Amino acid sequence: MQTVLSIKNISKKYGSIQALNNVSFDVPKGSVFGILGPNGSGKTTLLGIVLNVLEASSGSYELLGKEPDADSRKHIGTLLETPNFYHYLSAEKNLQIVAEIKGKGFDDIDNVLQKVNLLERKTSKFSTYSLGMKQRLAIASALLGNPDVLILDEPTNGLDPVGIAEIRGLIQTLSAEGKTIIMASHLLDEVEKVCNYVAILKKGVLLTAGKVDEVLVNEDIVEVSCNDLNKLANVLSNYNPKQKDNLLQLYFATGVAKLDEINKHCFENGIVLTHLYLRKKSLEAKFLEITNN
């Protein structure tokens, strides 16, 4: 798998504050990669280093398989914080200004406005936009020049539920078009809904990184019940069941549990199940497990 960004042993100190401590991970091409961690865990610092606005104290990184240079940076669109658009100018005019600063033509402007669903409002003044529209305009601005990689710092911060859903939908659409998206978030729920890869940071230390469904969910629990729990426990003793209230719980690695086999085994041993349910270990529980270690 091709790697878009490779972080190699990056550390960053602000005076005595160790904001990042020897962080390494790879971002695969085409992924939606979440950098997840509470406030102050070093997410913005890491993005700042990758975007060349901050210098690492030690370590390095590669963009698109090589030492970063002006050319590789052209492939990256960024949204670091809500940019300061001119309030009294239209969305279109604001993007023209950004395009000029970036040295890009105006041909792309309608296209990116269409992508973020603002084309019909392109002549409205920025000051008349809702917060969600402002954030979408910022993403449109990041999309100028059709970059392969987008880096977004907390893209849904401060938005209402509708605005959040719009941005998340947009990220998924851009991902389906083949863009790699790297986003910082302090919300587990957001990473679960939007990302397929995650790196979890805590106080500047990388706790884990990998596919979301491997990092955050590694356990399936099958719940079973019937009228005679003792007999059921006996019949399922090979599965090492644990009793919880009026249920037995069987633990499996993700994707391994076969409910039909369990059901058949019980029935062949004279038990009719009243309850058979596959429960994924909650992400929250797994996340707490990772971050508390």
Which residues would be at the binding site for ligand ATP (CB under 6 A)? 14, 17, 19, 37, 39-45, 186
Give the CA distances from residue 146 to residues 104, 175, 220, 253, in Å, rounded to whole numbers and listed in that order.
Answer: 10, 13, 41, 41
Query: Which residue, 186 or 286, is less far from ligand ATP as judged by CB?
Result: 186
Closest separation between CB of residue 204 and ligand ATP, Å?
7
Query: Which residue, 30 or 37, is less far from ligand ATP as judged by CB?
Result: 37
Closest separation between CB of residue 56 and ligand ATP, Å?
12
Closest separation between CB of residue 48 and ligand ATP, Å?
7
Closest C-alpha among 184, 136, 141 to residue 162: 136
Query: Which residue, 37 or 77, is less far from ligand ATP as judged by CB?
Result: 37
The one-letter amino acid at 28:
P
Query: Which residue, 45 or 90, is less far from ligand ATP as judged by CB?
Result: 45
Residues in CB range of 289: below 8 A, 6 or more apart: none
Q: Which two tokens stand for residue 255?
A: 């994707």
Closest separation between CB of residue 46 and ligand ATP, Å?
7
Query: Which residue, 74 or 186, is less far from ligand ATP as judged by CB?
Result: 186
CA distance linking residue 190 with residue 282, whole number of Å: 14
Closest separation between CB of residue 41 and ligand ATP, Å?
4
CA distance linking residue 128 with residue 217, whole number of Å: 43
CA distance linking residue 140 with residue 92, whole number of Å: 10
With 0-12 / 13-18 / 19 or more C-beta atoms within 10 angstroms meaning exposed / middle / buried, residue 81 is exposed
Closest separation between CB of residue 208 and ligand ATP, Å?
16
Closest separation between CB of residue 187 and ligand ATP, Å?
10
CA distance linking residue 128 with residue 112, whole number of Å: 19
Give the CA distances from residue 259 to residues 8, 41, 245, 289, in Å, rounded to whole numbers and listed in that order.
Answer: 43, 41, 21, 27
Query: Which residue, 13 or 286, is less far from ligand ATP as judged by CB?
Result: 13
The SS3 assignment for 206 reads strand
Query: Which residue, 45 or 175, is less far from ligand ATP as judged by CB?
Result: 45
The one-letter amino acid at 203:
K
